[in-house]
Structure 1
Amino acid sequence: MKLWQKIAVGFSVIIMVNILNFIILMYQEQKQEVLQHRVDDAVEKQLTLKQIVADHIRWKVNVLVAILNEKMPRVEVNPSLCRLGKFLNRVSATDPEEKRILNSLSSIHENMHQGAYKMQALFRPGAEVDDVFDAMTDIYNRDINKTSKKVFELLDRLEKIYDKRAEDAILAASKWASITRTLSITLNFLMLFTAVVFGLWIARSITKPVLTLKEGINHLAQGDFSKDIEIKGRDEIGEVAHAINGMLRNLRPLLKKISDGAKVIEKEAATVEAYSENAAHGGELAADRAGKMLMVSEGIVQSIIEEGQSINEISSAIQEISQSTTRANEIVNNAVEKAQVAGDTINRLGRVSEDIQGIIKLIGDIAEQTNLLALNATIEAARAGEAGKGFAVVANEVKELARQTADSTEEITNKIRAIQTESQAAIDITGEIIEIVGQINELISAIAAAVEEQTAVITDIASKVDEQNQGAQNLVEEAKVAAEAARSAVEGARQNLENIKKLLQLAREFEEDVRKFRV
């Protein structure tokens, strides 16, 4: 069943329930109108009967007044013209009891008015009545009083019938209203229940297939083409699922062919890649060897050039060494003289240090004597008591100054001793320097003689190096040609190998993408 058909069925059921509810409400309204009409009719008749009773009471009173006054009663004698007569003419009985009462009222009511007519006849011309009062009283008692009591009794019974009819109609209306209300509430609950059931049915009819369809589409999004979407419905969602299943059945063979083709392409590309790698590897070896030969040749040329430069530099260096040797000889002689002067100066510094040490010893003795004097002054100040406190303070200051002088003297003595030690070490080192400088002077003289001998040998080596350089230049040119040819071959092989690798990578990626789809 289609979704719109399901929705149409649900709405049709709800509409039918609403129509049924409307029909019941309309019927109830009509029934209420009928019952209300009955109530109104019964109430109206009750009011009419009350008015009839009142009219006939007044009618009897007027008759009695006429009897008492012995006059002709001025009352209605035609039963069809009074209110009760008109009522009896227009009313129709709806049940047997009412019909019997109405029939009885009609005859009795006529007799009652007939009595009034008889009374009026007593006062007509030609009437011969011995005693009018007795005659009227006799007619009243015989034809009016008894019949009026029966009329009132029947009217009371008729009023009770109408009262009961009104009560029955009201009770029936209330009962029917309760029944109608119960039916309406039941139908409303039924409609609500139908709407809920219909909503759940529609929701289940839509939600479950949609979830199944969503799950199937998620499998497709993940590349799983091996399962059909299992939706058995014939609605729009089922048609979509059937269409997707048809698409899957058409795609599976195609994906399998693509997967097989990708594997073949990958296999062939791998074979071509292996051949290309071998060719590229051989070209690289040849290019590498040519490059190495070129590098060796260039290295040889560079070495020869560097040797020539080195020989020239050696020649220049030897000349500079010769000149430097002469200058070094002069500098060494000057250094010897300076070292001797420094040694003499240091000797004099040692003697001055000894003199200073004597002076420092004298200062230390003075500080010791001052300390003793300060101690004696402190003792004397203590003996003097309060008067010697100021002198004691001065004595303490002098004592402290003497102590600081002794400490400084000791420190100066230590530093002078250190200077003397260092001066003696400098004197010893100066002597060693003078001895070493003498040895250097002898070595420089020997170097100068050797430099003169090597100058001729280096000149001969320089000429031979120039000849080797020319031959190496020719070798380098040949190696460059071979290396360029090898590089061209290797570049072509590499380009071919790169293209094949790209093809192989594409084949692998293609095969990997196809492998994601499970068929």
Structure 2
Amino acid sequence: MKRSTAATRAVEVTVRRNPVVGWLADRSVNVKGLLAAGITALVALGVGALSVGRMSDLSDDLAITKTVHVESLKHLGDLRGGLSDMYAGLLLHSHGDRDPALRTQGRKDVATADAAVDAALAKYQELVATGPQGGHAHTGGVAERRAAMEACAKAIADYRLLRDTVDFGEEPPAGFTPPPVEGISAAFAEVMPRLFGSLAELRSAEDAAATAMADAAAEKYREARAVTIAALLLGLTIAAAVGFAVSRMMARQLRGTSAALDAVATGDLTHPAEVRSSDELGRMAAAVNEARDGIRRTVETLAAGSRTLGDSSQRLTGVTGRIATSAQGAADQANVVATAAGDVSNNVQSVAAGSEQMRSSIREIAQNAQDAARVAADAVGAAEVTNKTVAKLGESSAEIDNVVKAITSIAEQTNLLALNATIEAARAGESGKGFAVVASEVKDLAQETARATEDISRRVEAIQSDTVKAVDTIGEIGRIIARINDYQLTIAAAVEEQTTTAGEMSRSVTEAAGGASDIAANIRGVAASAETTTTELTEAERTAAELARLATDLQSAVGRFRV
């Protein structure tokens, strides 16, 4: 893959600098970052190694503490446990007067406990005799523990001599004189405090030794912490100094480049960027200077071109203005002609539409006249039928009058019968009261029927009178409708002739309207072409004005730069 020219060309440093600082400044940004990171890593490694060494020493001290103190306490615990087992066996032996087996078992337990005490005492003596290992200085309390251990061993030996000779009845060894009977208690009273006191001194010596070891370990921890913190601070100071130097170099180069770019942003092309190194930032500053020079040359070219563009756009504006004026005059004349032709076409079309409407109206009148003639004929027939029907109605009303008379006669007879029934009921006395009531109701009904038949008679007489008048009126209507029918036939014939004449006139006017429409359409086409030409010339004039404005804006924009 090819590297860019900016990355491979030699960069000329434009400022004076220290040789060492210059060497570091010329290294790439990656190398500077790796250098700062490497120094930080070395500091971390050094501090880590120092901390690991110190922690190793603390671990060794903890191991010695476990060996010297924890193991010592374990052996002391075994010693105390053996003494307790010995006392238990001795107690069992003392209760064996009635049971020899208990006495024997007690003696065995005492022997076993003595062996455990001797083993614990030997291990403790060996641990105290060897002292701390590994060259460490945890030697506090060694002499005290040895003295306490020797006193404890002497007290155990003295106690065993008394126990074996007094309690077990064994022969005293050479050089040992058993106490008299009265002195046994005093002898045990003297040896037992020494035994328990030596054990307490051993425990105190162990505690003192453990305290000394803990104090020594704490002192080592404080020393290791102080050394680690000092090394860490020193390393961080070195790393911070290197990082600050690297960042200061980069920041100064970036500030110079940023100032040059800010000047370009404000239109100042006379402020170059300082090249302080030959690394990526220095090459960037050199590239900024080259870009600034290129922009300056471009601005100069744009300034000359904008002036030329302004002059050309002004000339173009004058030419298009004159052409637009001429085209606008032609368009106005064409519009006047188009308007007149349109008015003629509209008038002819209005006449054509009026003739067509008149033709339609005449055709509709003829149709209505024919329909009216048919309706008049139908009305004559209907009048005749109605006349006959009304005559039949008169005959029917006469028949109704006969029926009414018959009903009236029946009602009179019923009334007489009811009167006779009333008289007979009166003669019958009390037994005829019910029949008298019925006869009275029949009488009332007969009288009501008589009144109704009288009313019907009056109404039938009125119907007969109206029927005679209706027959006369319908006859007169029939004669009038016959005359109307004659008039309608005459009108229909005249309207048919007018329909033919109106059709011919409508066709002539329609043809004239078509010719006028074609003329108006052609004139409108001419006017539209003139309008289009005017519009395009106006657009050209506006474009020329925009070019002039663009040239002015371009000159203003170029004027912002100082070259």
TM-score, shorter chain, exceeding 0.5: no
Please, what TM-score do these two structures have when normalized by structure 2?
0.36
